[in-house]
């Protein structure tokens, strides 16, 4: 285990216990920096310890992550995201998706004439996107691999919160982006109503894999230090937020932690936790009843600018920072 500290403030800045939680039988604590409000897991698993919390099929050794009906929905969400991104550009360009998963987003962008590159942490996960004909580098993103300031777009979809050294990755992304290029980030919002209601049972807390929990304010501060300016902030995500509410409420009702997610995920049978038929039916029936109220709740929190996850688009204003 290793201690973590705030990314924005000097070492020694006071951080107080924010959420006490557990995962896999281990206790974990999230601390909140009293100066800037950034929340981080400390102490946290280091190196090989961290890997034990990512089962081999966490991101899917299966090419499909979810059961087939939901795969179509996931494709629809990725297509919508691609359309939102495209609005920032007059023509196609060159894109890098850090933590590209099975490459769905890049494949859609490629069809629009973009030159696409991806990165994944392990060779197994990289092979899934490679199968679609997208070049994927393995391991942390390396700035030597590409010419400096050669990308028009770099994306980090639900990735930044997993990174033990996010400042290193953001520095590399800054080095690889063209001036005026766009860096798009989506991540859970620790200042959201969902986080406040869910506390240790919040679906997007995901200990100990989520190492830093941002808010629009802390992320904008971090990105400003690299020379970026916020162009657009979205508080509504049909892809992430209503489901986050459903699962958080089921967790708070005392159902098996993230049980619905386990049922919906296309996990290999050997890893599927044993949920009785009764528990499965209870999860699915309650979820069906909660879905519409949760969509409305997500719309409401978005209007209040307290989105449960948020999507931020930053443009690189200066290469000198």
Candidate residues 2, 14, 35, 142; the one interacting with Zn ion per rule CB under 5 A: 35
Among 1-9, 45-53, 89-97, 234-242, which window interacts with Zn ion (CB under 5 A)?
A: 1-9
- Chosen residue from 4, 8, 230, 275 binding Zn ion by CB under 5 A: 8
Contact window for Zn ion (CB under 5 A) among 4-12, 68-76, 135-143, 282-290: 4-12
Q: Which of 119, 80, 130, 66 is nearest to 96 (CA)?
A: 119
Write down the least CB distance from residue 7 to Zn ion, Å.
Answer: 7
Q: With contacts defined by CB under 5 A, name the span among 27-35, 107-115, 132-140, 242-250 that binds Zn ion.
A: 27-35
What is the nearest approach in angstroms of Zn ion to the Cβ of residue 6?
A: 3
Residue 5's Cβ-count burial label (10 Å; 0-12, 13-18, 19+) is: middle
From candidates 4, 5, 9, 77, binder to Zn ion by CB under 5 A: 9
- The answer to the question of residue 233 lying near Zn ion (CB under 5 A) is no
Strands 309-316 and 228-234, sheet pairing: antiparallel
Shorter beta-carbon distance to Zn ion: residue 39 or 116: 39
Is the CB of 36 or the CB of 284 nearer to Zn ion? 36
For position 6 contacting Zn ion by CB under 5 A, the verdict is: yes
Q: Is residue 285 within 8 Å of 278, Cβ to Cβ?
A: no
Determine, following the binding rule CB under 5 A, whether residue 33 of this chain makes contact with Zn ion: yes
36 touches Zn ion (CB under 5 A): yes
* 316 contributes a contact to Zn ion by CB under 5 A: no
Contact 65, 59 (CB under 8 A): yes
Total of residues contacting Zn ion (CB under 5 A): 7
Q: In this structure, are residues 106 and 97 in contact, taking their beta carbons and an 8 Å threshold?
A: yes
What minimum distance in Å lies between the beta carbon of 41 and Zn ion?
15
């Amino acid at each position: 285990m290793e201690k973590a500290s705030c990314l924005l403030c000097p070492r020694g800045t006071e951080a107080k216990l924010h959420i006490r939680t557990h995962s896999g039988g281990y206790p974990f604590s999230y601390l909140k920096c009293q100066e800037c409000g950034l929340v981080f897991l400390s102490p946290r698993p280091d190196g090989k310890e961290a890997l034990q919390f990512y089962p081999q099929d966490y991101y899917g050794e299966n090419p499909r992550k979810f059961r087939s009906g939901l795969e179509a929905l996931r494709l629809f969400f990725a297509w919508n995201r691609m359309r939102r991104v495209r609005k920032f550009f007059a023509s196609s360009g060159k894109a890098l998706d850090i933590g590209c998963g099975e490459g769905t987003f890049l494949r859609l962008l490629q069809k629009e004439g973009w030159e696409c590159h991806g990165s994944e942490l392990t060779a197994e996960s990289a092979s899934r996107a490679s199968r679609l004909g997208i070049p994927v580098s393995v391991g942390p993103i390396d700035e030597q691999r590409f010419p400096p300031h050669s990308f028009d777009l770099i994306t980090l979809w639900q990735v930044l919160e997993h990174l033990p050294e996010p400042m290193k990755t953001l520095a590399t992304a800054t080095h690889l982006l063209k001036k005026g290029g766009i860096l798009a980030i989506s991540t859970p919002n620790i200042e959201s109503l969902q986080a406040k209601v869910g506390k240790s049972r919040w679906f997007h807390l995901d200990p100990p894999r989520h190492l830093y929990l941002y808010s629009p304010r802390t992320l904008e501060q971090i990105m400003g230090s690299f020379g970026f300016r916020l162009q657009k902030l979205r508080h509504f995500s049909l892809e992430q937020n209503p489901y986050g509410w459903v699962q958080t409420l089921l967790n708070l009702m005392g159902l098996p932690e993230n049980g619905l997610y386990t049922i919906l995920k296309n996990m290999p049978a050997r890893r599927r936790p044993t949920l009785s038929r009764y528990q499965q039916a209870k999860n699915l029936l309650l979820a069906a009843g909660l879905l519409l109220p949760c969509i409305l709740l997500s719309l409401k929190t978005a209007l209040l600018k307290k989105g449960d996850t948020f999507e931020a688009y930053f443009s690189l204003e200066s290469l000198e920072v």
